[in-house]
Amino acid sequence: MSNCWICSATIDAANDTREHLIPNSIGGRKKVSGFICVSCNSDAGQTWDAELARQLQPLSTLFNVQRERGTVPPLRVETTAGEKLTIRPGEPLLHTHPEFKETPLPSGQRLLEIRARSIDEAKGMIKGLKKNYPQIDEDDLISQLKVVETYPEGVFHHKIQFGGAVSGRSIVKSCAALAASLEIPPDNCQFAIDYLRDPNGEPCFGYYNETELVTGRVAGVPMNCLAVKADPADGLVLAYVEYFGAQRVVACLGDGYSGEPKSSVYCFDPRSGQELPVSVSLTFSKADIDQIYDYQKISPEGMKTAFDAVVGPAVAESHKREQDRVLERAVEKAFASCGAEEGEILTQEHLRKIAGTVFEEMAPHLMHRLRRIDGAK
């Protein structure tokens, strides 16, 4: 029988719960029982874990995190041109809302413009306009609907926040969960216990990128990693957490451990959930921990290097995926509209039409890429 690490209630069959070592929201699969009660699991999930998920959502979206349960929610952004867009992992950008514009003309008539996100939505908007403008030929307008893809005029930037009192407790909870899975007593993790139980508790973690702690890291993989080491030689229970290969944290859960040496690592690719065989070196002294907590082991250059290593390949893959999607759609439309029957040998005229249609369909994508390249100079 054990006690909840957060509220200290006795855990039994009625209130036990399987807690994710790393939250489901960022792809975690492994769980531990006998760690926290069902009530604390629910409360922490709705507060601490929810804030961590919010902070990391741009990365979850970029890397198309595969959750054990549910999907990554849409990410809403606004471009420098004021365009409000919605991003869904692995899908084209969409305007967040349909658009309707009514412009009076000198003739006394009115120009009605609509921009919808799908044919069905456009049909619904036309039906709505019919109520206010009965003279509209609804069927004629619907017959003229066509899909036209455009790209944003502006660009959007993600300002990724990380850490703080709320999400910080999710970080420490993950460390404590792995310690609990090793049967390290909560009494030996007093720093973590105090932080989790006391709303004004002192944080027991800091940010770190001075050296590489992970052996076996695969280049370009935005791995999530959690490690714990308990060493009776110095009594320290140390932990390491890494999110998406870039956000890196070292924690000291306690300093009075006297049991057998214990350690464990849980590392996986959040794009698939596949576990990764890595090892983590945790050899920090108390003096090292103090320096980490004092921000002496973190640098902007180190953060940029870590982010570039995973974000660069992901952005390149995203561009390739979009180019392949546009090209496939262009080729399908070109063959469907060239006038050739199925099985017919293509003539020079067919080929001319196919080439023209492919170029016409690809042009918006190519111009968008050229603008982005020119703007980056």
pLDDT digits (tens, 9 = 90+) for 230-272: 999 999 999 999 999 999 999 999 999 999 999 999 999 999 9
User: pTM to 2 decimals?
Assistant: 0.83
Query: What's the pLDDT score for residue 373?
Result: 54
Residue 48 DSSP class: I
Domain boundaries along the sequence of the chain: 2-66+161-298, 77-143, 307-376
Separation of alpha carbons 375 and 377, rounded Å: 6
Separation of alpha carbons 39 and 57, rounded Å: 25
The 10s digit of each residue's pLDDT in 300-327 is 999 999 999 999 998 888 778 878 887 8
Cβ neighbours of residue 38 under 8 Å, at least 6 residues apart? 15, 16, 17
What residue has token string 């307008």?
141
Query: What's the pLDDT score for residue 372?
Result: 59
Query: What's the pLDDT score for residue 368?
Result: 64
Low-confidence ranges of the chain (pLDDT < 70): 1, 365, 368-377
Whole-angstrom CA distances from 25 to 55, 164, 165, 271 are 11, 18, 19, 12
Query: What's the pLDDT score for residue 157?
Result: 74
Residues 285/289/291/296 CA torsion (nearest 10 deg): 110
Query: What's the pLDDT score for residue 147?
Result: 75
